[in-house]
Amino acid sequence: MDILFSCIGKTDPVKHYHDGAVLHILRNYPQISKVVLFMSKEIMDYHKKFDYYNIAFEDFMQKTERQLDIEYIDSGLEQVDDYDEFFDQFNKILKGLLHENPDSHIYLNISSGTPAMKATLLILAVENVNKKVTLIQVTDPKYVKEIKENGKFDILDQLTNNIDNTENSHRCKNPSMLMFFKNKIKNQLISLLNNYNYEGALTIYKENYDDKNVKLLIEHLRKRLLLEKDNERNVEKLNEYFNINCYPINNRRIEEIIEYFLLLQTMVNKKQVTEFLLRLNPFIKEIEILYLKEKHNLKIDNYIKKVNHRDDLDLDEFKRDYPEIYGYLDNKFNGINSNNISIQLLTYVIEFFEKENMNKLFVTLNEINSRYRNSAAHELFSVTDEEIMNNPNIKTHSRKLLKDIWELLRGLYGNHFPDNIINLYDHLNNVIIEHL
C-alpha cells in the first residue's frame, strides 16, 4: 500500500476540464492506494459545503476500477502562510506514516496548497531524501481556449468532460534537485564507511535511510571493530539477507587472531601508525606463542599463568621441562630476574630454535616494540612510517609489516580461513554501498 500525502488547493480536484494535481498523481501512480489530504479551515469548509472531493474520487475509482482509502485531516488552520505551524504538523504526520507503514512508499505532492505548504513539504522531502519518500510536482496543463465554462462551476460536467480521461497525459515529475541532496548524503556515508567510522556511519544512516538490514550490518561492523562478537540471531539474518558469511572461521582462537589482525589493518589503512604500534604489542605475543607451538612444538602457553591481569611464566616448571631453553634465556638476560612473558623473551625462545635461520619478522617486531611502544604510549608525539623506515634496525613501514604478518598467518593457519577474509571490512562496506 503506497500512500499519497497532499495538501488541497483551489485547482483540486479538477479545473478547466483537467485534473488537479492530486487527481493527476493518482492517475499516473496506480500503486497508490491510500490518500491523506491536509485541509486548512477554508478548504475544509469548502469541502463540507460542496463535497467536490468525494464526488471526484468516487468518479475516478469507478472509471479506473481502483479502490482508494481517502483520509481527510481537518487542521483548523486559518493562517495558511505560517511555515512553523505547517512544519510541525507535516513532520508529525510524515513520521507517523513512515512508522505505521514501514513497507509503504510515501509520495508528497508539492503542487497543491499555499506556497508555505509546498515549501514545507519540500524541506521535509530533503530531510527524508533517502527514505521511502518521493516528491512529485505536477505541471499545469495546456488549457484549450475554445472550451468555455458556463460561468458556474459544475463538478459533474468537469469530470465527465475531463480531457485527462482520454489524453493519457503525464504531467508528473520528480524534481531533480533532490538528487543533489541524495548524492551528498550518500557520498558522506561512503566516506565514513571507507574510513571505518561505523559510529558516524550508523548515525547518518539512521537519520536518512530506513533499511533495517543495512542498519544491522553497519551495527555489526561497529561492534566487530571493537572486537565484540555479534549474537547468532543477527549473524543469521545478515548471512541470509546479504548472502554472506560473517564468520567463516570455525576455530575460535584462530578467529580471534584474524579479527585482531583486521583491526590492525583498518588502522594502517587510516594511516594511524601510532595507534597501530600500541595495539601491536599483545598481538606480537600471541602470534609468537602460536608460532612456537606450530613450528617447534613448544606449547609455552601451558607454562603461562595469569597473575593480576598479567601473563607470567612459571619459571620453575619451565626450567624443569626445558632446561636448555631456560639456560639460553638466562644467558641472554644475564640472569632471568623477571617471569613476565615479554616479546623479548619469546623472541629469544624462537632464536634458540632457529639461530641464524631465524625468521627476520620476529626480530623486526621485537625491535619495533622495544623502540616505539613506550614512546607511543607515554610521550606526547606520534610515530610515522617515515620514522620507522629511517630506523637502520627496522627499515620497513606499517603496511609492509602487516603484509609480512599476514603471510606468516597464512603459512601457519591458511587452511583454516579463506584468503579473501583479508578484505572483509572493505567487502562488507561495498555490500552496504550497493544497498544505498
For residue 9, what is the domain's CATH number? 3.40.50.10770
Question: Is 242 part of any domain?
Answer: no
Say how far apart CA 255 and CA 339 lie, in whole Å.
Answer: 28
The answer on 304 and 165 residing in a single domain is no
Residue 435 included in any domain: no
Residue-wise DSSP of 77-131: ---TT-HHHHHHHHHHHHHHHHHH-TTS-EEEE-SSS-HHHHHHHHHHHHHTTTS
For the segment 18-41, the average pLDDT, to the nearest whole number, is 94
Amino acid type, 228: E
In sequence order, what are the residues at sequence separation of 6 or more whose Cβ sits closer than 8 angstroms to the Cβ of residue 175? 110, 135, 137
Residue 18 β-bridge partners: 15
- List residues bridging with 266 in a β-sheet: none
Please check whether residue 293 lies inside any domain of the structure. Answer: yes
Q: Which residues contact 350 (CB under 8 A, 6 or more apart)?
A: 288, 291, 292, 296, 358, 359, 362
Q: How many CA atoms lie within 13 A of 121 on its CB side?
A: 27
Rounded to an integer, the average pLDDT of 334-345 is: 89
Statement to judge: residues 161 and 266 lie in one domain? no
Helix (H, G, I), strand (E, B) or coil at 243: coil
Q: Is residue 34 in some structural domain?
A: yes
Q: How many CA atoms lie within 13 A of 71 on its CB side?
A: 12
Whether residues 127 and 256 fall in one domain: no
Query: Per the structure block, which three cell numbers stand in for 427?
Result: 567487502
pLDDT digits (tens, 9 = 90+) for 148-207: 555 677 889 899 989 888 877 889 998 877 777 778 888 989 999 999 999 999 998 988
Q: Evaluate whether residue 226 is within a structural domain.
A: no
pTM value is: 0.71
Q: How confident is the model at residue 436 (pLDDT cuts 50, 70, 90)?
A: confident
**Strand ranges across the sheet with 69-74:** 69-74, 32-39, 2-7, 106-109, 133-138, 172-173
Q: Are residues 11 and 158 in the same domain?
A: yes
Q: Are 127 and 108 in contact (CB under 8 A)?
A: no
Domain of 130? 2-175
pLDDT attached to residue 132: 83
The total number of structural domains that make up the chain? 2
pLDDT in tens, 359-416: 899 999 999 888 877 666 556 568 888 888 888 888 889 999 999 999 999 999 989 9
